[in-house]
Amino acid sequence: MQSRLKSLIPKYAILPLGLALLVNTCVYTGVGQLRHFLTFSSWETSFDKALPFVAPFVFFYILAFVQWGVSYILIARDSRELCYRFAISNIYAKIICLFFFLLFPTTLTRPEISGTDLCSRLVQLIYTIDAPVNLFPSIHCLESWACIRAAFLLKKSNRTYKIVTILMSLGVFASTLLIKQHVIVDVFGGILVFEVGFRIAGRILNTRGQCKKGAATP
Whether the pLDDT of residue 29 is over 80: the answer is yes
pTM (global) more than 0.85: yes
Question: What CA–CA distance (Å, rounded) separates 120 from 112?
Answer: 10
Report how far residue 26's alpha carbon sits from residue 93's, in angstroms, rounded to the nearest whole number: 13
Q: What residue type is assigned to position 151 of the chain?
A: A
Lowest mean pLDDT among 6-15, 58-67, 137-146, 168-177: 6-15
Answer yes or no: are the C-beta atoms of 208 and 139 closer than 8 Å.
no
Alpha carbon distance 16, 158 (integer Å): 26
Confidence of residue 7 (pLDDT cuts 50, 70, 90): confident
The CB density around residue 46, as the number of other CB atoms within 10 Å, is 6
Cα 20–chain centre separation: 11
Residues of the chain with pLDDT > 70: what percent?
A: 92
* pLDDT reading at 3 higher than 70: no
Residue 40 is classified by DSSP as -
The mean of the pLDDT values for the chain is 92
Give the tens place of pLDDT for each residue, 71-106.
Answer: 999 999 999 999 999 999 999 999 999 999 999 999
Query: Strand, coil or helix: what is 116?
Result: coil
CA dihedral 152, 155, 156, 158 (to 10 degrees): 30
Interval 154-200: pLDDT, tens: 999 999 999 999 999 999 999 999 999 999 999 999 999 999 999 99
